[in-house]
Amino acid sequence: MSKLRYIILLLSCFLILSCEERIAWEIQSQPDDRLVVQAVLTDQFMIQSIYLSRTSGSLNGGFPYVEDAEVWVSTGGQRLDFFLDSSRSTYNSEVPFGIKDSQVYRLNIRWQGDTLRAESQLSKVLPVPEIKFDLVPNHDSLLALTKIGEIFDPTQDAMYEVNIDWSHLTDSGPAQARSYFYNFSTIHINEIIRPIREDLVFPKGSIVSIKKLGLNEDFAKFLQSMLIETEWNGNFYFSTSSNTPTNIQPDALGFFSTCAVLTDTLIAQ
């Protein structure tokens, strides 16, 4: 009887394999003439940067640089010009400046005969919360940073850029890491059950630099939409597709925002 079961199981396996079918996915190419803008200006007094590229018409075609745009930001009758630097995709401000509160800043991009525009006012930012590290099980000398605050926080919209450096503790291998964390004042169904995220692990004594950006409501919606389409999309329970918003008109991708920033540096112990 056991021999019969083995034969039935073997036949079932052959039947399952015989049902496989190769599918060739047809990727519909998109026109590669839309501008992609990454423009986040802060209240830090510094050379500000704006990144421009174009959409790609193929899946692995990369993102072409935009080298022929005229870029400037205007506010209160003042014009702040940006010029292309050696990286080709980056436009840097001619002079250092910081975004001021209660002023409207207007981004202008003249490209291929059209002028694209967006505007923003400086966001608010709450103090950087206390940062706590978790010990890695069975490794007394290693720490992990799993989150900063709660992702759903009705009091604020914020993004954290965390840079960790332990190059002073070792002479071999990669010794730096960067990660981003978010607080949002609204919640999406994909945020409730998210795919497992790999912990950021590093040795005790590492230098942790934190930059917190306060987010305007519209910029927070843009980032939340991007996360839904990438990090939070395709989990076991939910899958969603949304139209990523933009404030750059009339026809561009990306976002222009002005953000208040707080920074902190500490030694992880």
Distances (CA, A) of 144 to 44, 135, 231, 245: 29, 6, 20, 33
pLDDT number for residue 228: 80
Lowest-confidence pick of 27-36, 90-99, 126-135, 179-188? 27-36
Lowest-confidence pick of 11-15, 86-90, 173-177, 222-226? 11-15
Lowest-confidence pick of 29-38, 47-56, 107-116, 191-200? 191-200
- pLDDT at residue 136 tops 80: yes
- pLDDT at residue 104 tops 80: yes
- pLDDT at residue 232 tops 90: no
- Over residues 249-254, the mean pLDDT reads 91
Domain with CATH 2.60.40 in the chain: 35-121
Distances (CA, A) of 116 to 72, 110, 127, 168, 191: 11, 6, 34, 46, 33
| Cβ pair 177, 164 in contact under 8 A | yes
Q: For the chain, what is the mean pLDDT? A: 83
Which residues lie closer than 8 Å to 225 by C-beta, 6 or more apart?
242, 243, 244, 245
Rounded Cα distance, 206 and 75, in Å: 41
CATH tag for 35-121 (out of 2.60.40, 3.40.1350, 2.60.120, 2.40.128): 2.60.40
Residue that wins the pLDDT comparison between 152 and 77? 77
234-237: Cβ within 8 A, 24+ apart: 234/195, 235/190, 235/193, 235/194, 235/195, 236/193, 237/193
- By percentage, how much of the chain surpasses pLDDT 70? 77
pLDDT number for residue 221: 92
Residue that wins the pLDDT comparison between 61 and 184? 184
**C-alpha angle 79/82/86, rounded to 5°?**
165
Summarize pLDDT for 9-24 with one digit per residue, the tens: 555 554 444 454 555 5
Beta bridge partners of 81: 72
Summarize pLDDT for 174-183 with one digit per residue, the tens: 899 999 999 9
